């Protein structure tokens, strides 16, 4: 009886250690894409997407190509859509990271529109 109790306790302890070992890990942000690859990567990831997700991706791609001030908003909205596959979500997240990086670099050079876009992004986070 004591032996069975000891085995159960050892098993539960091992499970607890495995559980706790996984708790310390944090999810890393995906690395940004090179900004010139954003439209191609999005196009590839969303080529077989449902109509609504594909339309949202097309709008984001157009905004990025035109370097529109709303590109960050479009990418952010795209990345949080619940109907995306893992590949699509990763592509949208990496595209958003690339565009954020570009905005930061442009803002550091004194671009007022980039600074405003970053401030708006931070306010909505």
Q: What is the pLDDT of residues 33-78, one digit of tens each?
A: 888 898 899 999 999 999 999 999 999 988 888 877 688 889 999 9
Q: Are 33 and 41 in contact (CB under 8 A)?
A: yes
Kindly tell me the sign of the dihedral angle through the C-alpha atoms of 3, 8, 14, 16: negative
Position 9 scores a pLDDT of: 43
Q: Tell me which residue has tokens 């190509």.
A: 65
pTM: 0.71
């Amino acid at each position: 009886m004591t032996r069975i109790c000891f085995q159960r306790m050892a098993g539960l302890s091992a499970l607890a250690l495995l559980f706790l070992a996984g708790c310390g890990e944090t999810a890393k942000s995906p690395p940004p894409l090179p900004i010139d690859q954003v439209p191609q990567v999005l196009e590839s990831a969303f080529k077989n997407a449902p109509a609504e997700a594909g339309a949202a991706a097309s709008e984001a791609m157009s905004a990025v190509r035109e370097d529109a001030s709303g590109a960050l908003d479009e990418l952010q909205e795209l990345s949080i859509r619940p109907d995306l596959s893992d590949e699509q979500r990763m592509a949208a997240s990496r595209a958003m990271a690339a565009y954020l990086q570009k905005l930061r670099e442009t803002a550091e050079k004194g671009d007022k529109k980039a600074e405003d876009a970053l401030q708006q992004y931070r306010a909505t986070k």
